[in-house]
Structure 1
């Protein structure tokens, strides 16, 4: 309950000795943070914003204004909205010069889709384009590929579908869902999974965590480094 209802956004300067400052805004899960300017995007649901219809979710963007003594959120804009639980939204990453955003659409049952939205035209594309669990994670610097937590290996390994039995995959953002390559094989072993991957700014490394299929999402037991050759 606390994770969904009480999740708050804070600002921490890179300056040594800085302390986190509350931005006085709740959010669902994490935020997408631009690598080039002070723009962020995140999701709101009824749990954080009671004015929203139960089951609905919004993707919203803000600019972080640091010109004053206290940082604050300005220029709010709603970029996408789902009216019900047929698609619960979660923001992930900006790409193509902050003109596009990846996000996850959590569907009824164990399924989830990797999606993208063009922030200018508002066109939404299902990038994974395949049944099953495909939660988008860290994006590659060129914006051509992204990492995905997926249960696709259950097609041959068996096991319960959904966010428990996952490994890390690499997906090309071309809307076909066909260029989809498995990067980790932790789920080949009973109780094993890999999750929460991010890509270094030079695209040479992936950091991720090892986890257990029986634990809630986000729980991990160590951070590992994967090198791309």
Structure 2
């Protein structure tokens, strides 16, 4: 009997070792391990990045509800931007057109219920001066998820339930919102997606005459569409045209002709126990009304990793993004990665 127990114990330990080793092996094999030379990881931590206007630096969150850092792309030198004052953590950081930084974060943080700090009831918008001469100034409005920032003007848009827009002005050096306009309401959406939830994304370059936003709703799986509203005519356009798929707009190209999208088109149906966001990869969507989509990353192959939150440099050459492990909370990242579109095309042409 004792011998049998020893044998069973040995088998159990062996199986545990093999299973654990297999899991560790899977997680150790990041897609970056086999990436071509035009893809480079520049930080070992961080998420939700944004390019500086000159393309020389990238701002990013240390983690959700954490500090904000800036990395110099050429050298990898890191600079903390929010260590000089006490705070409860930030959930977004974006460059304004004058170099100042738009932050989103709550005045309070509860470790037992951290999600409250990114809710539209608690996440506020702030402006941090570029010279880091003091703590950020609150703008007096709350925000759901990320705001949209013009790269040409001191104009922002944000969502609570509806989408709002305003200019930032400085009164004796203190930033404030000039006039708040309601731009889009859920009931304004086209019939097939009427009353879906809203989230701002980008002002469309090069003229800033349109706001790209996301309409989303758990209709079948969890669906999302890439939408745009003309700021003059208020005409709303559906660019992705697949209300049965999850297509969330992210970084936009500087010519305004394409936008990067987090999409599940390669795996539109959820498996049991999974969320829609477990199947995200990065795609490129044409903004000409054709709804043409092109897949860029394949991190989600094997359903272990995903590539998310891409942004494009102002010269259109680089994409910065993060990678995550499926099952993690949306927005979590494990470092900032840069994709060089020019080098990618050179390699493709060399193979022809």
Instruction: State TM-score, norm by structure 1.
Output: 0.88
1: CA distance, partners of 2:301 / 2:267: 9
Cα distance change of structure 1 residues 161 and 127 upon mapping to structure 2, 3 Å threshold: farther
- Counterpart in the other structure of 2:21: none
Is 1:9 the counterpart of 2:125? The answer is: yes
* Aligned equivalent of 2:331: 218
Give the conservation status (yes or no) of the 8 Å contact 1:133–1:161. Answer: no
Between Structure 1 and Structure 2, the one with more helix by share is: 2
- Where does the alignment leave 5 or more consecutive residues of structure 1 unmatched? 45-56
8 Å CA contact 2:150–2:208 kept in 1: the answer is yes
Q: Deviations over 1:162-211 (max 9, x none)?
A: 2221000000002221x211110010023210100000011100000000
Secondary structure at the residue paired with 1:28?
A: coil
**1:137 offset after TM fit, Å?**
0.2
1:19 positional shift: 3.1
CA contact (8 A) 1:199 1:206 kept: yes
Kept in 1, the 8 Å contact 2:270–2:276? The answer is no
Question: Which residue among 143, 162, 172 is the counterpart of 2:276?
Answer: 162
Q: Return the alpha-carbon distance in structure 2 between the equivalents of residues 158 and 27 of structure 1.
A: 29
How many Å separate the matches in 1 of 2:332 and 2:270? 23
Q: RMSD in angstroms over aligned alpha carbons?
A: 1.9
Give the structure 1 partner of residue 167 of structure 2.
63
Equivalent in 87, 91, 106 of residue 200 of structure 2: 91
1:158 deviation in Å? 7.5
Q: Which structure dedicates a bigger proportion of its chain to strand?
A: 1
- Give the number of equivalent residue pairs: 215
* Mapped pair 1:227 → 2:337: no
2:261 is equivalent to residue 148 of structure 1: yes
SS at match of 1:98: coil
**Preserved contact between residue 132 and residue 152 of structure 1 (Cα < 8 Å):** yes
Provide TM-score, normalisation by structure 2.
0.58
1:30 pairs, out of 146, 151, 160, with 146
Which range moves more in the overlay, 15-24 or 217-226?
15-24
Considering Cα pairs closer than 8 Å and 6+ residues apart, tell me whether 1 or 2 has the greater RCO: 2
CA deviation after TM superposition for structure 1 residue 118, in Å: 0.5
Aligned residues of 1:132 and 1:162 also touching (Cα < 8 A): no
Secondary structure of the equivalent of 1:2?
helix
Task: State the 4+ residue runs in structure 1 displaced beyond 4 angstroms.
Answer: 157-161
